[in-house]
Amino acid sequence: MVLEIISVFFYRNKRLIFDNFNLKLKNSQIMILIGSNGIGKTTLFELIVGILEPQKGIIKINNQLIQKMFEKKRKNFTYLPHKDGLKDNLTIIENIENWNYLSASKYDFVKLKSSLDYFDLFKIKDENVGNLSQGQRKKVSLSKLILSNNLLWLLDEPFNGLDSDSIIKTKRILENHRKNGGSVLLSSHIDVKIKSSRKIVLNKLRQKRRRDICEINSWEEL
For another protein, the binding residues in 27-46 under the rule CB under 8 A are 46
- Distance of closest approach, residue 83 Cβ to another protein, in angstroms: 3
- Distance of closest approach, residue 199 Cβ to another protein, in angstroms: 25
Residue 60 sits in the site that holds another protein (CB under 8 A): no
Nearest to 122 by CA among 145, 99, 98, 140: 140
Distance CA 199, CA 60 (A): 20
Cα-based torsion angle of the residue sequence 82, 88, 135, 112 in order, rounded to the nearest 10 degrees = -90
Q: Please list the residues that pair with 56 across neighbouring strands.
A: 9
Using CB atoms within 10 Å of the CB of residue 207, give its burial: 0 to 12 exposed, 13 to 18 middle, 19+ buried: exposed
Residue among 6, 23, 34, 52 that touches another protein (CB under 8 A): 52
Number of residues that bind another protein (CB under 8 A): 41
Candidates 18-26, 100-108, 166-174, 177-185 — which segment interacts with another protein by CB under 8 A? 100-108
- Distance of closest approach, residue 81 Cβ to another protein, in angstroms: 6
Residue among 1, 12, 108, 168 that touches another protein (CB under 8 A): 12
Nearer to another protein, 151 or 194 (CB): 151
Residue 117 sits in the site that holds another protein (CB under 8 A): no
Distance CA 186, CA 178 (A): 13
Distance CA 33, CA 178 (A): 17
Query: Can you give the binding site for another protein, defined by CB under 8 A?
Result: 12-14, 46, 49-52, 69-75, 79, 81-90, 94, 98, 101-104, 207, 210-211, 214-215, 218-219, 221-222
